Structure 1
Amino acid sequence: MAFIGEPAHGVVLWGGDATTRSIVLAPLTRTLPRAVRSHFVQQAPLVVPGADVPELVGEYLPRLAHVVGVGSRDGSVPLPGPTRVRLRGQVTWHEDASAVLAWRWVHSSDEGPERDLPVDDPTVGRLLRDPAREQQVVGLLEADETVAALLGVGQHGPGTLAAELRFRGLDALGFATDVLPRLEDVARRSDGSVELVLVGRTPDFRPATGVPEVRFTSSEGDHREGRTDWLELEVVVAIRDEELGTVQIGLAQVLAALASGSTTVMVRDHVYVDLDRPELDRLARLVADARAMVDQPPRGIRLSRDHHDLLADLAGLVEAGPSDGRVREWTRAAAALRELPATEPPAEPAGLQATLRPYQRAGYAWMSFLHEHGLGGVLADDMGLGKTVQTLAMVARARESDPQAPPFLVVAPASVVSTWVAEAARFTPGLRVVAITESAARRGWGLDRLAERSPDVVVTTYTLLRLEAAGYAGLRWAGLVLDEAQSVKNHTSKTYDAARRVEAGSRFAITGTPMENNLMELWSILSLTAPGLFPHAADFRERFAKPIEQDASPDALAVLRRRIGPVVLRRTKDLVASDLPAKQEQVLTVELGPRHRKLYDTHLQRERQRVLKLLEDLDENRISILASLTRLRQLSLDPALVDPEHEKVGSAKIDLLVEHLSEIAAEGHRALVFSQFTSFLSRVARRLTAAGLGYSYLDGSTRRRGEVVDGFRSGTDPVFLISLKAGGVGLTLTEADYCFLLDPWWNPAVEAQAVDRAHRIGQTRNVVVYRLVSAGTVEEKVMELARRKAALFASVVGADSLASTSLTADDIAALLEP
């Protein structure tokens, strides 16, 4: 005979006599070691001395039986019985409640001794092993996926597991209460294939007898950075146990346990506490939110006075356990701010001569609360919702509560200063308002003499704030109000720096557009009104601006909205529609630029002298007089309308218009823009194109008028430019809810008809009407006369009016007064 292949996979047998030969080929059912094959080939007997027979029977024959069949021809040799395979686990408990679990294979038979073989290396004792049986036994453990994963079943190959495992602390608790009972159950059901040996005493694990209690303590780290107060809280979870007394768990350990998904923490070798409690979940969420705002210490929480939502979340935890007074003061104020919408607003100040609508009362209450607590915020209501009157109501209440307090400082664009003065005189006439519209050199007195005027409110411009930054920073202010706060959206500008340096008890930004281009503009405004909310620009950019602007991250956006919610109050017209009149009208005063002003004043002097002479015969010279007035009206809009050489002078009215249109377009609104002068509408159109705002256009020269109108109604252009003469009547444009009248019309009825293109049956939204009036020009005079003699102006316009004598020489002369 001979073997085929290496390693051998078959055998060849041959035989017969000289005339007949036979050859038999057969496969091998198992692999034979080289030593066994050599005995077959040599066919020589192996003689074993009598003294070694026990060793032969006890050790070698059992191994050989795994390879080939073993038998005794005459029965004189006792053959080994079948080998038994057992998996033995030894659990050893130590004094510190730790445990060691060690596994070994035990192979035994009736004739030979037990043999221990490793469970993680199947190559050791290969000839003694029964791999199929080992895999079968390990399969009993695989039935429980949790146990199998813990024991490392199969990590070193089929039928293997981890040789030794150590358990400490929480792992030892889990082993004793969960894993060990499962192993004991497997052993009971294994018919002796799996056995467990316990060494040492199993610890008496038990829960602590007390209830976890969160404790907050102000640390020595409380301090003030600039205008921001910081609160450093040391946080521990304390448990009162009957046996151990008070046991404390550090914040880091609590958070690590909750983050891992485990709700249990060991407080001593055999005592544990369950952290599956709502207040601890709230604590973990609060710390996670705080870490998303500013860097946090490992043992506590660091919050600023402006982290209102986090402080409000903290309030419930603080009230439930022992905490010092400062912590309670801050958290109670934040909780009160959160509950403010459901709280009855304070009484309106006695000096307020206005009836606040419900949403305005809510805004007044919100601003008053923030002011009284030394905080700040952003009033970001839609245009036309009365942000000024809400602010004045807050100021009046503050002045009545503390007349000796420093004044309020209002900073606004130059074009809005007069509006503040007028609105204060109208709604809060008891407030002493000082408007600073000139530099110290031109007005003849410095800010150090401001107290001599005993103001309640000081209104100045952003330019003058920047030029006299040191003077404003050197005074004490009860509050700072930044109107049209987009003026300080650039945090690298000198104007922003000047506003930041002002020391005030409270700080408010008033703007319908807290951000126009990017989120860093919002950060700039918040850094002035709530400086501790997002203290570092770089952190805000990485945590919010980039994820939201570049990745449209819903998570970052949700967090940002939640953070700014307490300090940004925004109501849209849709939100408070039931509290608004059907149509709301407002005059926007426009201040001419210096060059524009000089040109206008020069022309005014010349036209005044000319018209006054023509008034000697009004009826004869009416057309010439109207031509002079028209030139002044055009010059009030844009000098280039009168002379193309003035192209580069610019138009403040167009600047203001485009700013408002950009804001309302960004909010999803649409606007109608009316002017008598098509040349002015053309200049507006060029600016809209430069600003990237789409528009439709309609004047007397427009062909296919119906298609243009239908195009706007069914399209997405946010702006419709319309000449009064071409589009003042006969159109229904209820898709728009804003109207801008760029030049006061002689006949108010014509303006009303134009506005009614949007404000008519079918309109489902409130309509806001803005009249843009250039300060110190004939436009203001037109407005004054319109209020006094509305019927008078109808006689100045139109063919039928040219023969009218109802417009007197005195009326026309009044239009030209300085």
Structure 2
Amino acid sequence: MAPVPALLEPLNLRFTNYEEGLALRITRKFPELFAAWLKTIPPHISVHLDGDLASFATPDVAGTVKLDATEAGIDWFDLRVVLDVNDATLTPAEIKLLLNAKGKYVRLEGKGWRRLQFNLSDEENERLARLGLSTRELSAEPQRLHALQLADDAAKKFLPEQQVEQIQRRAGELKTRVAPDLPGGVTAQLRPYQLEGFHFLAYLASNHFGGILADDMGLGKTLQTLAWLLWLREASPTSDKSSQPSSPEAPALVVCPKSVMDNWHAEAARFTPGLRVKIWPPSELQTFRDRLSEADLHVLNYTQLRSLGESLASVQWRAVILDEGQYIKNPSSQTAQVARVLRADHRLVLSGTPIENRLMDLWSLMAFAMPGVLGSRAHFGRLYDAKGDPFARRRLSSRVRPFLLRRTKSQVAKDLPDRIEEDLFCEIEGDQQILYRAELKRAQQLLLRVKTQKELAAHQLHFLTSLLRLRQICCHPQLVNPDLRVPGAKTEALLEQLEPLMEEGNKVLVFSQFVELLGLLRPLLEERNWPLFYLAGDTENRGELVRQFQATEGPAIFLISLKAGGFGLNLTAASYVVLFDPWWNPAVEMQAIDRTHRIGQVNKVIAYRLLIKNSIEEKIRALQKQKKALAEDVLGEERFSQSLTLDDLHFLFAD
């Protein structure tokens, strides 16, 4: 039998004259130490516990996880993960203290030391994760979920039976399968996955959801959105669920990078000519608010969004679309803050990279598209970005699944042609535009003095020089004057195109006929720490560069001179090609694209041509199509450009 003094030794009791007995200083470690000590007392020894110490003889507080759903508007519920405890004497504040202690003892006034013990099975954790929830949310802020999400079988275990029936009935009334016919005004034949995307957008609108279309770059997010906007105008799925729905004539708003504004106009003219689209130059912005009726779709860039913020917020838009939505990935930025206060019946984000560097990127996009669905920023960080939590990503995926659609190139490969070519337009402005207009005016004045084909032959060198200088100015002003420190519109457009492609892990070939331009691009790309390869006419280790590019894991960019890289290269690791400047002979462009689109290529190839709108480049592109038969029989640029007639030059040098 152990003597009593020996049993007391683990407590490290000390004799005090004040108490005239043994005493122990109470520290944070005391409850666990004392509880563990009690378990070592042999059964035949009785320990009398006075006051608060008596609480150590009572069972731990046990709890059961439940969901408390409160209606928060039509079809929406504010949901709390709550704990139903087996001790009715505990107040909500005391239960919260016990929760925050995470299984440790808490001294409650008048109730001694208590601790809370509850464990969820793996199945129960999985059920909560399917709902996008976690016991991390116990005692936290309510989370807003839609009836569609709560109708999942995973919610049955945690909700009262009567409420389960109510929610499932409500969810059954919703339009979960929306498959309207494509509007007659859409002139394109949508591929199967694009039609699915259009139906997804219609589903969002019919249920008054916002959402994210996150297809890979090059899969036609713009076309799907334009078809949806035309359907919105014709079908008017207005919103009895919106507190202030727009009028039937309300326009839509697209906010996008400056470099793709013209692309929206061009795509709409091509695929949905019935939609009136207006791009706003800086000089007209002061009249913006008074001229909304002039278009069905207004296109602004993100700089304009910030400058017009206050006036935009007073408009009730039919729809607001943020193209390249990663521009609002920083939720504290002015751009994101202005975007969130816009009023619209329908909200949509387009982004091939909804998560670029961190999960908070997605929170910011959803805070615009579906405010409140992912909770506050702080809550989002705790619940979905918690390190070491195996269910965190599963919860996030479950929460956003009804509102986000993403398809990669590999997933829809069977619906894609082997090669996709797309013209991307941007506009020059400022000093670059002044330089271009001055050169164009000189060529026009010379052309006025030329009346016959014979006179044209005498001045042919002058005209070819003017054509070359205009094309160089379009590419970058420093190609005609190295001392100019003027930003190039196409350089900015290229960087904006490459950003998401690099984030997605793609390999890209960038071709230009101007070696000097590649030299300007090289340091800009190196600043961004993107893996970079360079090939021009004087490059000696061509084979080794190709081998390294092909073998590189992850994203990479290959800058290639069109003449140096047009033949003899096999670069099938790349699935994107950018033609920075148009070549007179389209056959030469095809040879460039064929560096990657050849035997051994397992991916679909997407090629972009960067063109300056209303410039010599746009007219060269048109002339390529007109003279395609001639181009196929001509070798080299010189002979093709020399074949230009007087009528061709009038066309090329026209305003």
- Provide the TM-score with structure 1 as the length reference: 0.63
Match of 1:133 in 2: none
8 A Cα contact 2:210 2:403, kept in partner:
yes
Match of 1:753 in 2: 591
Moved more, 585-594 or 668-677: 585-594
Counterpart mapping for 1:268-417 below 5 A = 289=133, 292=136, 296=140, 302-305=142-145, 309=149, 312=152, 316=156, 321-323=161-163, 327=167, 345-402=179-236, 405=248, 406-417=250-261
Q: 1:579-604: CA deviations, max 9, x gaps?
A: 11100111111222422222212222
One-letter identity of the residue aligned with 1:781: K
For the residues of structure 2 that align with 1:233 and 1:538, how far apart are their CA atoms?
16
Residue 231 (1) aligns with residue 68 (2): no
Q: Tell me, which stretches of 5 or more residues in structure 1 are unaligned?
A: 1-104, 106-117, 125-149, 175-211, 239-249, 261-274
For the residues of structure 1 that align with 2:617 and 2:189, how far apart are their CA atoms?
30
How far the C-alpha of 1:463 sits from its partner, in A, is: 2.8
Match of 1:741 in 2: 579
8 A Cα contact 1:154 1:160, kept in partner:
no
Residue 426 (1) aligns with residue 270 (2): yes
For the residues of structure 1 that align with 2:223 and 2:266, how far apart are their CA atoms?
11
Go from structure 1 to structure 2 and tell me whether the alpha carbon gap of 1:604 and 1:315 turns closer, same or farther (over 3 Å shift).
Answer: farther
Match of 1:638 in 2: 476
Match of 2:529 among 664, 671, 692: 692
For the residues of structure 2 that align with 1:495 and 1:710, how far apart are their CA atoms?
42
Q: 1:185-222: CA deviations, max 9, x gaps?
A: xxxxxxxxxxxxxxxxxxxxxxxxxxx99896637xx4
Counterpart mapping for 1:543-622 below 5 A = 543-544=383-384, 547=386, 555-613=391-449, 616=452, 617-622=455-460
One-letter identity of the residue aligned with 1:385: L
Moved more, 724-733 or 455-464: 455-464
Go from structure 1 to structure 2 and tell me whether the alpha carbon gap of 1:524 and 1:595 turns closer, same or farther (over 3 Å shift).
Answer: farther
How far the C-alpha of 1:615 sits from its partner, in A, is: 7.0
One-letter identity of the residue aligned with 1:482: L
Match of 1:763 in 2: 601
Match of 1:218 among 67, 70, 78: 70
Q: 1:345-376: CA deviations, max 9, x gaps?
A: 44333333322222222222222111222221
For the residues of structure 2 that align with 1:523 and 1:688, how far apart are their CA atoms?
29
For the residues of structure 2 that align with 1:306 and 1:595, how far apart are their CA atoms?
52
Match of 2:343 in 1: 503
8 A Cα contact 1:693 1:718, kept in partner:
yes
Report SS of the residue matched to 1:762: coil
Match of 1:777 among 603, 607, 615: 615
Match of 1:527 in 2: 367
8 A Cα contact 2:511 2:562, kept in partner:
yes
Number of aligned positions between the proteins = 591
Report SS of the residue matched to 2:266: helix
Go from structure 1 to structure 2 and tell me whether the alpha carbon gap of 1:795 and 1:643 turns closer, same or farther (over 3 Å shift).
Answer: farther
Greater RCO, 1 or 2 (C-alpha within 8 Å, sep 6+): 2
Report SS of the residue matched to 1:289: coil
How far the C-alpha of 1:508 sits from its partner, in A, is: 0.8
One-letter identity of the residue aligned with 1:530: M
Go from structure 1 to structure 2 and tell me whether the alpha carbon gap of 1:161 and 1:630 turns closer, same or farther (over 3 Å shift).
Answer: farther
For the residues of structure 1 that align with 2:521 and 2:567, how far apart are their CA atoms?
22
Go from structure 1 to structure 2 and tell me whether the alpha carbon gap of 1:152 and 1:800 turns closer, same or farther (over 3 Å shift).
Answer: closer
For the residues of structure 1 that align with 2:76 and 2:231, how far apart are their CA atoms?
26
How far the C-alpha of 1:700 sits from its partner, in A, is: 1.4
Match of 1:447 among 289, 299, 304: 289
Q: 1:671-716: CA deviations, max 9, x gaps?
A: 1111111111111112111111122221211123333323322345
One-letter identity of the residue aligned with 1:606: R
Larger Rg over CA atoms: 1
How far the C-alpha of 1:387 sits from its partner, in A, is: 0.3
How far the C-alpha of 1:490 sits from its partner, in A, is: 3.2
How far the C-alpha of 1:772 sits from its partner, in A, is: 0.6
Match of 2:280 among 418, 422, 437: 437
How far the C-alpha of 1:555 sits from its partner, in A, is: 4.8
One-letter identity of the residue aligned with 1:687: L
One-letter identity of the residue aligned with 1:602: A
8 A Cα contact 1:485 1:514, kept in partner:
yes
For the residues of structure 1 that align with 2:515 and 2:481, how far apart are their CA atoms?
15
Q: 1:775-797: CA deviations, max 9, x gaps?
A: 22210111111122224557997
For the residues of structure 2 that align with 1:522 and 1:154, how far apart are their CA atoms?
50
For the residues of structure 2 that align with 1:796 and 1:672, how far apart are their CA atoms?
25
Go from structure 1 to structure 2 and tell me whether the alpha carbon gap of 1:788 and 1:743 turns closer, same or farther (over 3 Å shift).
Answer: same
Go from structure 1 to structure 2 and tell me whether the alpha carbon gap of 1:304 and 1:783 turns closer, same or farther (over 3 Å shift).
Answer: same
Match of 2:489 among 636, 652, 675: 652
Go from structure 1 to structure 2 and tell me whether the alpha carbon gap of 1:473 and 1:444 turns closer, same or farther (over 3 Å shift).
Answer: closer
Match of 1:709 among 546, 557, 569: 546
Go from structure 1 to structure 2 and tell me whether the alpha carbon gap of 1:448 and 1:701 turns closer, same or farther (over 3 Å shift).
Answer: same
Go from structure 1 to structure 2 and tell me whether the alpha carbon gap of 1:308 and 1:164 turns closer, same or farther (over 3 Å shift).
Answer: farther
One-letter identity of the residue aligned with 2:253: L
Go from structure 1 to structure 2 and tell me whether the alpha carbon gap of 1:610 and 1:385 turns closer, same or farther (over 3 Å shift).
Answer: same
Go from structure 1 to structure 2 and tell me whether the alpha carbon gap of 1:422 and 1:800 turns closer, same or farther (over 3 Å shift).
Answer: closer
Report SS of the residue matched to 1:477: strand
One-letter identity of the residue aligned with 1:442: E
For the residues of structure 2 that align with 1:663 and 1:308, how far apart are their CA atoms?
32
How far the C-alpha of 1:313 sits from its partner, in A, is: 6.0
Go from structure 1 to structure 2 and tell me whether the alpha carbon gap of 1:805 and 1:645 turns closer, same or farther (over 3 Å shift).
Answer: closer
How far the C-alpha of 1:170 sits from its partner, in A, is: 10
How far the C-alpha of 1:305 sits from its partner, in A, is: 4.6
Match of 2:516 in 1: 679
How far the C-alpha of 1:425 sits from its partner, in A, is: 2.8
Match of 2:40 among 132, 144, 155: 155
Q: Tell me, which stretches of 5 or more residues in structure 2 are unaligned?
A: 9-34, 86-91, 104-118, 238-246
Go from structure 1 to structure 2 and tell me whether the alpha carbon gap of 1:281 and 1:442 turns closer, same or farther (over 3 Å shift).
Answer: closer
For the residues of structure 1 that align with 2:264 and 2:132, how far apart are their CA atoms?
43
Go from structure 1 to structure 2 and tell me whether the alpha carbon gap of 1:612 and 1:489 turns closer, same or farther (over 3 Å shift).
Answer: farther
8 A Cα contact 1:286 1:314, kept in partner:
yes
One-letter identity of the residue aligned with 2:284: R
8 A Cα contact 2:261 2:426, kept in partner:
no
Go from structure 1 to structure 2 and tell me whether the alpha carbon gap of 1:516 and 1:654 turns closer, same or farther (over 3 Å shift).
Answer: farther
For the residues of structure 1 that align with 2:396 and 2:532, how far apart are their CA atoms?
33
Report SS of the residue matched to 1:492: coil
How far the C-alpha of 1:541 sits from its partner, in A, is: 4.3
Match of 1:482 in 2: 322
One-letter identity of the residue aligned with 2:405: L
How far the C-alpha of 1:152 sits from its partner, in A, is: 8.4
Match of 2:108 in 1: none
How far the C-alpha of 1:809 sits from its partner, in A, is: 0.8
8 A Cα contact 1:792 1:807, kept in partner:
no
Match of 2:296 among 430, 433, 456: 456
Report SS of the residue matched to 1:721: strand
One-letter identity of the residue aligned with 2:442: R
Q: 1:420-476: CA deviations, max 9, x gaps?
A: 222223322333x2414135x63774424424x4x4333333233322222221121
Q: 1:136-159: CA deviations, max 9, x gaps?
A: xxxxxxxxxxxxxx99898258x9
Report SS of the residue matched to 2:601: coil
Over the matched positions of the two proteins, sequence identity in percent amounts to: 36
Report SS of the residue matched to 2:610: strand
